Amino acid sequence: MNDQPRSAINAEDDWLEAALRAEGEAHRDSYLDDGGFTARIMSALPAPVALPAWRRPVLLVLWALAGLGLAFALPSVVLDVTYDVMRLVLGQSVSFSGIGAALVAIAVATWAAAAFVLRDD
């Protein structure tokens, strides 16, 4: 198995890659008329399967219910974690740069979570 990332492999050292690239450059401008065959095949293909529209809201509700269920099932753990977080947050000195960094971190985490949940599979 090759442990090198693809970007680290030098294209000039790979003789097959160089041969394929040269062959592609030689025939890049030539066009082969297929009489509309490709268009007919592409139009005959079935439409891609789309996920149901109700999937995202149902997943969000299920995760919210799981979180609430966990909070109600283990109230002492939730309170202990809340107290520890408050102790850490209130025990720190507050500065504008610290508040800004925290807001940026929250915005990045929120954006990442929204991008993950709302992605198109």
For residue 17, the tally of other CB atoms under 10 A from its CB is 13
How far is residue 74's CA from residue 68's CA, in Å, rounded to a whole number?
10
Contact 36, 30 (CB under 8 A): no
The residues spanned by each domain of the chain are 10-44, 55-117
Label residue 60 by pLDDT band (50, 70, 90). Answer: very high
Mean pLDDT of 61-90: 88
Q: How confident is the model at residue 12 (pLDDT cuts 50, 70, 90)?
A: low
Higher pLDDT, 98 or 30: 98
Under a CB-based contact definition with an 8 Å cutoff, are residues 118 and 56 in contact? yes
The confidence score (pLDDT) of residue 105 equals 95
Start-to-end Cα distance in the chain: 29
For range 30-36, the mean pLDDT: 80
Q: For the chain, how big is the Rg over CA atoms in Å? A: 27
